[in-house]
C-alpha cells in the first residue's frame, strides 16, 4: 500500500501556485508521517495501513465538492506545513491560566506531543483510567479507528499521521464526578506547523463521566490542527462532552468527533468554535441500538474574515430514540459561518423524536451565514422538526436598553452575551463558562 510521494522540490511548486495540486499536497503531508510502526501496539499498524489505503482512493476536497462548497481551503493548500516538534515545557503562569480547579484530572499535549510534567493523572478516581498510547489497555486500542466516519480523507490522514493518543476509559458501573480535561496546546513556531491530536474515549456499561476537550494557542502563529476524537458509549452509559476550539487567528483547524451509542446511552456534546482563520468541525453520531438520547449544542463565533464551518450527522439505527440539536452562529465583519446538520431516520427507527434548530446572528452588513438543517426520514411513525432563523440585533431591544442607561455598544454586547450564554451555560464548569463569555465579547466590535 504505497502512495506516490513527490520530492520536496516538486511539492513546493504546486503548494505556491494559484491552483494547487491537491494530490501533491496530500503526498507532502504523508511524507512527514511518524515512523512508529515497529513500537506500535498490536493491531495499530493494520489500522494505519487501512487508512493509507483509503487515502489512495480519495483526494483532498475543493469547493466543487458539495460538502465543502461554502468553505474555502485555499489558505491550507497555499501553505507548506512541517510536522510540529520541540519542547513540551511551559512557564507555570501559562499553564495556570489554562487549567481549571474543577478538573483535577488532566492530559496535556504540546504541539501534538504528550507533556507528562504538565499533566495530572496520578489522582484518577477508582474506575477511571487516563493514559496515552504507550500505557493504554490493548482492548481499548483495538477500538481505535473503528468508528463510522473514519473513511473521510482528513480523518484517515490523522489515523496515518498521529503520534500519540489521549485515552480515557471509564469502567463499568462507575460514576466519575471529576471532569476530565484533555488540553491540546500549540506554541509559536518559526515555520508553519501541523499536528494531529487523537483522542479515544470509552465509557463502559452503566458508567457516567464529564469530558472537556480543548484546543488552545499560546501565541499567534500559522499552523494546521487536524484532530480526531472517537467516543464509545456502552449500554446505559452517559457522557457530557464539551469541545472548545480557541486556535490562533492564522490557524487552520479541522476536527472530527465520531460517537457510537449503545442502548439506553445518553450523550451531550457542547461544541464552541472561536478561533482560526478557517475551521471545520464534523460531529458524526451513530446510535447503534434503541432508546438512546442525544443532545448537540453548538456555538460558532466568526469575525474579521474568518470561515467557520460545522457539518454534523446523526444517523439512527434503532427505535424509540430522542435527539435535540441547537446550533448558533454569531458573525461579524466580513466573516462567514456555515452550518449543515443532517439527521437520518431510517425505516427501523420508528418512534423517533428529533428536533433541530439553527439560529444565526449577523452583526454587520457584510457578514454571511449559510445554514441548512436537514432531515431525511424514511420511518413513518416519528416526530421530527427542524428550522432556521437569521437576524440582526433588534433595534427595539437596543432602544429599550439605552432607555435604561446603557450606551449602544454596551446594549449590543449584552444582547450578544445573552445569545451566546444559552450554549455556553451548558458547559459544566463555572470558571470555564466565564472565560468563554469574556472571549466572545472581546472579539466582537
User: Cα separation of 210 and 227, whole Å?
Assistant: 20
Q: Are residues 167 and 286 in the same domain?
A: yes
Q: Is pLDDT larger for residue 434 or for residue 11?
A: 434
Q: Specify whether 399 is located in the same domain as 350.
A: no
- The answer on 158 and 214 residing in a single domain is yes
Binned at pLDDT 50, 70 and 90, residue 28 comes out as confident
The set of cell numbers assigned to 168 is: 480515557
**Confidence (pLDDT) at 112:** 85
Cα–Cα distance for residue pair 261/291, rounded to 1 Å: 10
* 15: confidence class by pLDDT, cuts 50, 70, 90: very low
24 occurs within a structural domain? no
Average pLDDT in the 116-127 region?
Answer: 90
Domain boundary among 373, 394, 415: 394
Statement: residue 42 has pLDDT above 70: no
Question: Which whole-number Å values give the CA distances from 58 to 22, 44, 156, in the listed order?
Answer: 10, 22, 10
pLDDT tens sequence across 312-360: 999 999 999 999 999 999 999 999 999 999 999 999 999 999 999 999 9
Q: What's the average model confidence in pLDDT over 43-68?
A: 89
300 is written with which cell numbers? Answer: 460558532
The residue from 371, 394, 417 where one domain ends is 394
In this structure, the answer to whether residues 399 and 265 fall within a common structural domain is no
Q: Indicate whether 41 belongs to any domain.
A: no
Clarify whether residues 115 and 171 are in a common domain. yes
- How many percent of the chain have pLDDT more than 90? 74
Asked if the structure places residue 116 within a domain, the reply is: yes
Task: From 237, 352, 225, select the one nearest 280 (Cα to Cα).
Answer: 225
pLDDT band at 17 (very low <50, low <70, confident <90, very high): very low
Report which of 223, 315, 256, 253 is spatially closest to residue 51, judged by C-alpha positions: 256
What residues have CB less than 8 Å from 226, skipping those under 6 apart? 154, 157, 158, 161, 194, 195, 196, 197, 254, 255
Residue 74 located in a structural domain: no
User: What's the mean pLDDT when you consider all of the chain?
Assistant: 90
Residue 64 domain flag: no
Burial 89-104 (b: 16+ CB within 10 A, else e): ebeeeebeebbbeebb
Contact 369, 362 (CB under 8 A): yes
Q: Are residues 306 and 430 in the same domain?
A: no
Q: What is the pLDDT of residue 330?
A: 97
User: DSSP 3-state assignment of 130?
Assistant: strand
Question: What pLDDT does 329 receive?
Answer: 98
Task: Please tell me whether residues 410 and 298 are part of one structural domain.
Answer: no
- Classified as helix, coil or strand, 39 is helix
pLDDT in tens, 145-182: 999 889 999 999 999 999 899 999 999 999 999 999 99
Q: What are the helix (H) ranges across 292-407?
A: 395-403
- φ/ψ of residue 378, rounded to 5: -105, -35
Same structural domain for residues 334 and 228?
yes
Report whether pLDDT(39) > 70.
Answer: no
The answer, yes or no, to whether residue 196 has pLDDT greater than 90, is: yes
In a domain, 292, yes or no: yes
Confidence of residue 11 (pLDDT cuts 50, 70, 90): very low
**Regarding predicted confidence, which is higher, 34 or 138?**
138
Last residue in a domain, options 354, 378, 394: 394
Q: Which domain holds residue 158?
A: 83-394
For 275, 328, 335, 442, the CA distances from 365, given in Å and listed in that order, are 21, 18, 11, 20
Helix, strand, coil % (nearest 5) of the chain? Answer: 20, 35, 40
- Who contacts 136 (Cβ-Cβ below 8 Å, separation ≥6)? 41, 165, 167, 169, 200
- Residue % of the chain over a pLDDT of 70: 91
Contact (CB, 8 A) for 205 and 236 = yes
Same domain, 442 and 368: no
- 404 and 375 fall within a common domain: no
Q: What are phi and psi of 180, to 5 degrees?
A: -105, 125
65 or 265: which leads in pLDDT:
265
**pLDDT for residue 190:** 81
The pLDDT score that the predictor gives to residue 93 is 61
In this structure, the answer to whether residues 264 and 143 fall within a common structural domain is: yes
d(C-alpha 286, C-alpha 314), whole Å: 6
In a domain, 113, yes or no: yes
pLDDT at 121 > cutoff 50: yes
pLDDT value at residue 4: 35
At 413, the pLDDT band (50, 70, 90 cuts) reads very high
What's the confidence (pLDDT) of residue 394? 92
Residue 44 has a pLDDT of 87
- pLDDT of 300 above 90: yes
Q: How many domains does the chain have?
A: 2
How far apart are alpha carbons 327 and 136 in whole angstroms? 35
**Average pLDDT in the 373-377 region?**
92
- Tell me: do 241 and 360 sit in the same domain: yes
Residue 383 is assigned to a structural domain of this protein: yes
* pLDDT in the model for residue 315: 96
Give the pLDDT score at 8.
Answer: 36
CA-CA distance, 75 to 78, in Å (whole number)?
5
Mean pLDDT of 221-243: 97
Amino acid at each position: 500500500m504505497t502512495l506516490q510521494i513527490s520530492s520536496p522540490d516538486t511539492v513546493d511548486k504546486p503548494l505556491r501556485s494559484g491552483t494547487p495540486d491537491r494530490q501533491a499536497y496530500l503526498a507532502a503531508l504523508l511524507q512527514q508521517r511518524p515512523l512508529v510502526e515497529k513500537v506500535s501496539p498490536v493491531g495499530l499498524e493494520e489500522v494505519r495501513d487501512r487508512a493509507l489505503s483509503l487515502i489512495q482512493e480519495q483526494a483532498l476536497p475543493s469547493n466543487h465538492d458539495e460538502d465543502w462548497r461554502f468553505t474555502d481551503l485555499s489558505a491550507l493548500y497555499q501553505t507548506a506545513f512541517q510536522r510540529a516538534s520541540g519542547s513540551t515545557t511551559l512557564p507555570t503562569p501559562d499553564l495556570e491560566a489554562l487549567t481549571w480547579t474543577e478538573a483535577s484530572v488532566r492530559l496535556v499535549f504540546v504541539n501534538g506531543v504528550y507533556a507528562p510534567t504538565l499533566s495530572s493523572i496520578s489522582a484518577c478516581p477508582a474506575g477511571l483510567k487516563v493514559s496515552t498510547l504507550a500505557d493504554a489497555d490493548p482492548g481499548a486500542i483495538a477500538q481505535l479507528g473503528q468508528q463510522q466516519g473514519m473513511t473521510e480523507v482528513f480523518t484517515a490522514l490523522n489515523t496515518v499521521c498521529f503520534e500519540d493518543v489521549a485515552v480515557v476509559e471509564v469502567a463499568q458501573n462507575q460514576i466519575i464526578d471529576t471532569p476530565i480535561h484533555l488540553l491540546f496546546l500549540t506554541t509559536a513556531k518559526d515555520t508553519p506547523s501541523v499536528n494531529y491530536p487523537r483522542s479515544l474515549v470509552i465509557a463502559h456499561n452503566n458508567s457516567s463521566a464529564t469530558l472537556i476537550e480543548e484546543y488552545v494557542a499560546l501565541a499567534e502563529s500559522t499552523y494546521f490542527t487536524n484532530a480526531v476524537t472517537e467516543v464509545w458509549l456502552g449500554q446505559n452509559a452517559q457522557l457530557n462532552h464539551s469541545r472548545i476550539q480557541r486556535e490562533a487567528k492564522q490557524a487552520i483547524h479541522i476536527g472530527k468527533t465520531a460517537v457510537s451509542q449503545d442502548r439506553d446511552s445518553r450523550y451531550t456534546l457542547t461544541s464552541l468554535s472561536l478561533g482560526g482563520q478557517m475551521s471545520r468541525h464534523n460531529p458524526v453520531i451513530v446510535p447503534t441500538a434503541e432508546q438512546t438520547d442525544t443532545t448537540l449544542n453548538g456555538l460558532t463565533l466568526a469575525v474579521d474574515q474568518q470561515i467557520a464551518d460545522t457539518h454534523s450527522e446523526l444517523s439512527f439505527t434503532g427505535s424509540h430514540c430522542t435527539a435535540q440539536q441547537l446550533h448558533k452562529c454569531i458573525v461579524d465583519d466580513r466573516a462567514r459561518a456555515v452550518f449543515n446538520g443532517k439527521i437520518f431516520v431510517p425505516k427501523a427507527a420508528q418512534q423517533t423524536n428529533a428536533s433541530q434548530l439553527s439560529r444565526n446572528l449577523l452583526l454587520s452588513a457584510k457578514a454571511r451565514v449559510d445554514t441548512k438543517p436537514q432531515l431525511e426520514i424514511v420511518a413513518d411513525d416519528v416526530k421530527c422538526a427542524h428550522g432556521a432563523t437569521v437576524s440582526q440585533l433588534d433595534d427595539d431591544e437596543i432602544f429599550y436598553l439605552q432607555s435604561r442607561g446603557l450606551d449602544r455598544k454596551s446594549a449590543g454586547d449584552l444582547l450578544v452575551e445573552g445569545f451566546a450564554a444559552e450554549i455556553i451555560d451548558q458547559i459544566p464548569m463555572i470558571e470555564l463558562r466565564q472565560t468563554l463569555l469574556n472571549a466572545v465579547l472581546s472579539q466582537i466590535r
